Structure formats: structure tokens, C-alpha cells
Structure 1
Amino acid sequence: MSRRRHVEETNESDVDMTPMLDIVFILLIFFIVTTSFVREEGILVNRPKAQNNPPNNASPTVVVQISESGQVKFNGKAVDIERLAARIESFLAENQTNSAVIIPEYDTAHDKVVQVMDQVKLFDQLVISIGKSKS
């Protein structure tokens, strides 16, 4: 007889998990519904389309290259980032163009690219394109 009482007592000590699961699902639904998703704004980049035959009357282009170490070259000549705007201004005074190409190397730091883009964006007539380094 004593064995039956002992077995019956262990059966009664089970915990019903259903109410706890209901509460967890209700909390999950609450957090999903109340979460606000923020849409982050990015930079609009105009990518040039591939052309097999460049036009014969192509106007000169502002070309800015950025090395992995952060060195900036304007049309093949080394220049300091702070003096880049002055170089672009003198180039635009001599040449009629509306396009600028920024060519960073693969491991160039993003902040250097953004600094160069900020300098080029000072000239409203220029359309900025991002190029790919040959290496």
C-alpha cells in the first residue's frame, strides 16, 4: 500500500507548461508588433555603364584615385585631400566636363573615400561615379 501512495504523489507533482508557453508567445507577438524598423539612408552612387566603344569626342574627366594607404592622386598626380578642391577647381576652369570618377583600391578605408567624395561634391556640375581599381 505504501508503494501506491508514493507513486501517486510523484504523478501529481508534474507542472503544466502550457500557460507559461502562452505567455511567452504573447510577449513575443507584443515585441514583434511594437518594434519599429528604421530605414537607414545611404549614399546615391551613379555607376557608369560598360561601354565597348568610348565616344570620340569624350571630354576630359576628373579622375581621383585612392590607394590603400590613403594617398590621393588627382589625374595621376599626388595631392593632399585638403587641396583636392582647389585642384578640381583649376581643372574645371581649363576643361569643360561634368563627370568625376573616384577609384579606390580594394582595401581603402571608407572614411578616405567619403572625404574625397565630400570634396568632389562641392562642385554641383560634377556627376560622381565610383570606379574599380585594375588590381
Structure 2
Amino acid sequence: MRMRRYSHSGEEEPGIDLTPMLDVVFIMLIFFIVTSSFIKESGVEVNRPQADTASSQDKGNILIAVTADGQVWLDKQAVDVRTVRAHVERLRQEQPDGIVVVQADQDARTGLVVQVMDQARLAGVPDVALAASTESN
């Protein structure tokens, strides 16, 4: 008697291999995360005065906002003007090469803006800038 041999071939069902596509997606995700720039905000919107000579700052900045009603905002929270120095010292440890930018509302008291700038200088920041917008903004 003859025996029949049934050989089961090792063929698999044809399918799409998704591994290269997933690799490309993860590489693109990493690329966009690394190249994206995150905009820091002080936590409150101010109406900045206009200046024809205003220029943009490219470095990482520590933003301090002074509102028209006398509030000082730093790192998205309202702070007392006497604590600005301590906050700036803490933020300078994270960004040693950053400069301080004071975003003062055009109706803010000049004395308060000067106090904020003075506190930043006492924290060891040599460059304190005052934010302004150009005519086109």
C-alpha cells in the first residue's frame, strides 16, 4: 500500500509589513519634537507700546509682565514685586544665558516697571529689555 505524503508548505498568507512605516512615523515625530520652538509666555496679555526701533530677541528669555492695574506676572502666575528677584534667580539657574524681557502695558505705572527692572538687575541679570511692538504688529 502506498502512503501519500501531504507536505504542508511553509507559505504564509501574504500581508503588509507595517514595521518600516512605523519606523518612519516615529522618526518624523522625533524630528518635529526636536525642531519645534516653544513660545514662552508670561501668563497675561498686555498692550505693549509701539516703537519704530523695536527688534526681536532670539535668545531664551525670562518674561515678566506688568499690567495696567499694577499686577506683576512671571512664569504664568501673579507675583509680588518684592519676590521678582527670587523668581528671576531661580529661572536664571535653568537658563543662564537668557535675558529678562519686561512686557509692560502701555498704561502701566512707570515706577512699578522700574522696580521690576531693578529687581531683575539685582538678581544678577545684566541685560534687561523692555518689550515693545512695531508699527506693523
Give the total of aligned pairs: 83
Tell me, in whole angstroms, the C-alpha distance in 2 between the residues paired with 1:50 and 1:67: 21
Structure 1: unaligned runs, 5 residues or longer: 1-46
Partners of 2:89 and 2:124 within 8 A in 1: no
**2:112 maps to 1:106:** no
* 1:97 Cα offset (Å): 2.3
What secondary structure, in the 3-state scheme, does the structure 2 residue paired with 1:101 have? strand
Percent identity among equivalent residues?
25
TM-score normalised to structure 2 length: 0.52
- What's the CA shift for 1:106? 1.2
More helix by share: 1
Cα deviation for residue 61 of structure 1 reads 1.0
Number of the residue aligned with 2:55: 49
Runs (5+) with no aligned partner, structure 2: 1-52
Offset at residue 77 of structure 1 (A): 1.9
* In the alignment, structure 1 residue 92 sits paired with structure 2 residue 92: yes
Alpha carbons of 1:119 and 1:131: their partners in 2 closer, same or farther (altered >3 Å)? same
> For 1:49-128, what aligned pairs fall within 5 Å after superposition?
49-50=55-56, 54=58, 58=59, 60-128=60-128
CA RMSD, Structure 1 to Structure 2 (Å) = 2.6
- The TM-score, its normalising length taken from structure 1, stands at 0.53
> Once the 2 structures are TM-superposed, how far is the Cα of residue 64 of structure 1 from its aligned partner?
0.6
Query: Shift in Å at residue 119 of structure 1?
Result: 0.3
How far off its partner does 1:48 sit? 5.7
Q: Which runs of 4+ in 1 moved over 6 A?
A: none
